[in-house]
Amino acid sequence: MTQEQTRCGYVALLGRPNVGKSSLLNRLIGQKISITAAKPQTTRHSIMGISTRDGAQILYIDTPGMHLQGRSALNRYLNRTAGGVLSYVDVIVLVVEALRWGAEDEDILRRLESAGKPMIVAVNKVDRLKDKRPLLPYLQQVSGKATFLDMIPVSARSGENLQPLEQTLASALPSAPFAYPDDQVTDVSVRFLAAELIREQLTRLLQDELPYSLTVDIEQFDDSGNVVRIGAIIWVERTGQKGIVIGQKGRMLKQVGMQAREAIERMLDRPVHLETWVKVRSGWSDDERALQSLGYRTPD
C-alpha cells in the first residue's frame, strides 16, 4: 500500500476526569495499556495506543483528565500534560459522559477550540442509559456549542458504536505512511506499564484513603532470565500513609503485590517475581523537582 493510500496521524482523547478516556483507549486498541479505576487522576501521563487497520494507523493519545482546580504541582502537571498534546495532534476527541455537561466540560471545550484542530465528540457511557429518549435533545444541545466533525454516542464498556468512531477518525487523518509496525500497540516501555499496574491496584484497593498521595517508581527490572524480577518503591507523603499502604500485619501491601504481580504476568505472559517497598518522600506531589525525579516530565 503506497503513502497516498494510507493514512496516519495523532488523535488526542481529552475530557474531564472519569469520563472513560482510558477505558475507551483500551477498547479501541483491543488490549489494556492504560490503567483504569473509578477515581480522578488515575491517568497521570500521556499514553499512546496504536490501532492499525483498513489502511489507517491511528495514534491515540490518552491524557489525564483536565480540571479547573490546579493548586498542587501534580495538578498543574496533569493539566500541562493534557494540554501539551494539542500542539501536535491531528484530531481531537472530546470525551463526555452521556447526559452530563458541566462547567468543566464547557471550560475544556473552550480550551480545545483555541487549538484550531478538527474535533469529534464521543458521548460515552450510553450503555448506562435505561431510557435513551433524552439522548437526542442532549446531542442537539452540545452540537450547538461549537463546530464538530461529528458527535458519536459510544460505550467504552460494551464497544457500542466504536467502529463508526474509528471510521470517522481515519477519514480525518492526513495521507501518510505508517509510523509504527502493524503489530505494535504502544510506544511506552514495559517498565512503565509495570509501575502503572502496581499503581492501579493501589488505587483500587485503597479506595478513598490516599490514591493521590502515592506514586510508584521501578527500582529494578531484570528480564534476562526465565522469571522477570521487579523491585518497586511505593512513595507516599507522610509516615501515617505508609502504615495504611502496608496494612495490618502487612496484609494490604501483600494483596497489592499479589494482584499487581498477576496483572504484570498477564501482560508479559511470563512468571514475575515482584518485591515492593513503601517509603516516605514528604510533599512530593507539590514539589516540581521531586515530580521530575519520579518520572513526571511534561512532553516537549
The 10s digit of each residue's pLDDT in 226-279 is 999 999 999 999 999 999 999 999 999 999 999 999 999 999 999 999 999 999
What are the percentages of helix, strand and coil residues in the chain, rounded to 5?
40, 20, 40
What pLDDT is stored for residue 256 in this prediction?
A: 96
Residue 68 has pLDDT above 80, yes or no: no
Q: What is the DSSP string of 4-33?
A: GG-EEEEEEEE-STTSSHHHHHHHHHTS--
- Tell which wins on pLDDT, 227 or 285: 227
Q: How confident is the model at residue 211 (pLDDT cuts 50, 70, 90)?
A: low
CB contact set of 130 (below 8 Å; sequence gap of 6+): none
Distances (CA, A) of 189 to 129, 195, 218: 37, 10, 12
Q: Where in the chain is the domain with CATH 3.30.300.20?
A: 190-293
Query: 24, 156 in Cβ contact below 8 A?
Result: yes
Q: Report pLDDT digits (tens) over 146-188.
A: 999 999 999 999 999 999 999 999 999 999 999 999 999 999 8
pLDDT (0 to 100) of residue 290: 81
Outline which parts of the chain fall under CATH 3.40.50.300: 3-172
Query: pLDDT-derived band of residue 297, with 50, 70 and 90 as boundaries?
Result: low
Predicted confidence at residue 70, as pLDDT, reads 58
Residues β-bridged to residue 279: 235
Q: Is the pLDDT of residue 1 over 60?
A: no
**In this prediction, what percent of the chain has a pLDDT beyond 70?**
92
> Among the CATH numbers 3.40.50.410, 3.40.50.300, 3.90.180.10, 3.90.600.10, which is that of 3-172?
3.40.50.300
Cell of 139: 446531542
Whole-number pLDDT of residue 102? 93
Domain 190-293 has CATH 3.40.50.10260: no
Residue % of the chain over a pLDDT of 90: 68
Q: How confident is the model at residue 284 (pLDDT cuts 50, 70, 90)?
A: confident
Element containing residue 91 per DSSP (H, E): strand 91-97
Give the pLDDT confidence score for residue 288 in this predicted structure: 82
- Indicate the average pLDDT of the chain: 89
Check whether 298 has a pLDDT greater than 70: no
pLDDT for 174 equals 96
Question: Which is more confident, 17 or 299?
Answer: 17
